[in-house]
């Protein structure tokens, strides 16, 4: 079976996963608060710039918790600044200009974090000018097939009154699955109720890794497991990048909670 045939046979997430996304995202948010209380990592970052891109129909509002967390770690954080992400074709050009402005301000490579559709943009930006991109971190991004059946396409077609395949440049559509030539961490969850998790995987090599977490698609930006991965990744660069090795986050949080109660 060819790779393309395999992609085309992937089914969209189940109705149960799709309908429970909101509830499960609230559960992820419920874990975010104690994580921020007990996980004291403020100020450990090296100060390099980090650009964070939201998913389809989302805005910088959706990434406030994530941006706050990364700022507290000690990095220069930037939102995308384009209002809601309506998947307009001109976003790549606008983001390219923004990336160049950030680089000219700091004169050091930028980490780009993209959530869902934001991850598609992040990888394309890195392909255009890898010299100014330190690494890419994507969360629930269907990089293997944005036009394959999922639970978000209908919203796009309702909003734009057109097919995704009719609106996107065919050359861009063909290029999206190709990996970016920078270190890339693809975070995914098999409980994703929006996009098929199988589409969110990089072809792993020495610079590309897939990391699985438990949780919802809509809660990835507040999921403590995701935050732990991002905190680790931000300490890496092209010079020292290596695979993420997960620790026991739950046990660590319980230890910190007990320590807080006895002080």
pLDDT along the chain (263 residues), means of 10: 60 89 94 83 84 95 96 96 88 94 97 96 96 98 81 57 58 88 98 94 97 96 95 96 78 47 42
Structural domains in the chain (count): 1
Rounded Cα distance between 257 and 244, Å, is 25
> Given this model, what pLDDT does residue 260 score?
41
Domain containing 76 equals 3-261
Q: Encoding tokens for residue 253?
A: 């949080």
Rounded Cα distance between 11 and 188, Å, is 16
CATH of residue 148's domain is: 3.40.50.1820
> Given this model, what pLDDT does residue 69 score?
95
Burial of 59 (0-12, 13-18, 19+ CB in 10 A): middle
How much is the pTM? Answer: 0.88
> Given this model, what pLDDT does residue 10 score?
83
Cβ–Cβ under 8 Å, residues 110 and 102 = yes
Rounded Cα distance between 197 and 85, Å, is 21
Rounded Cα distance between 2 and 203, Å, is 15
């Amino acid at each position: 079976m060819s790779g393309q045939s395999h992609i085309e046979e992937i089914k969209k997430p189940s109705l149960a996963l799709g309908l429970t996304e909101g509830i499960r995202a609230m559960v992820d948010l419920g874990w975010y608060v104690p994580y921020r209380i007990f996980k004291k990592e403020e100020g450990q970052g090296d100060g390099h710039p980090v650009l964070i891109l939201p998913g389809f129909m989302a805005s910088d509002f959706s990434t406030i918790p994530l941006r706050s967390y990364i700022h507290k770690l000690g990095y220069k954080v930037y939102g995308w600044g384009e209002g809601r992400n309506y998947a307009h074709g001109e976003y790549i050009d606008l983001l390219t200009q923004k990336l160049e402005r950030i680089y000219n301000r700091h004169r050091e490579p930028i980490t780009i974090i993209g959530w869902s559709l934001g991850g598609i943009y992040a990888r394309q930006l890195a392909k255009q000018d890898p010299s100014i991109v330190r690494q890419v971190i994507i969360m629930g991004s269907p990089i293997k097939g944005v036009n394959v059946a999922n639970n978000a396409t209908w919203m796009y077609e309702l909003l734009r009154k057109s097919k995704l395949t009719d609106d996107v440049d065919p050359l861009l559509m063909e290029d999206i699955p190709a990996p970016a030539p920078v270190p890339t961490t693809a975070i995914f969850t098999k409980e994703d109720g929006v996009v098929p998790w199988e589409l969110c995987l990089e072809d792993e090599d020495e610079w590309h890794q897939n990391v699985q977490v438990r949780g919802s698609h809509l809660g990835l930006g507040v999921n403590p497991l995701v935050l732990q991965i991002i905190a680790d990744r931000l300490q890496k660069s092209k010079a020292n990048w290596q695979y993420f090795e997960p620790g026991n986050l739950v046990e660590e949080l319980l230890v910190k909670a007990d320590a807080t109660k006895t002080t």
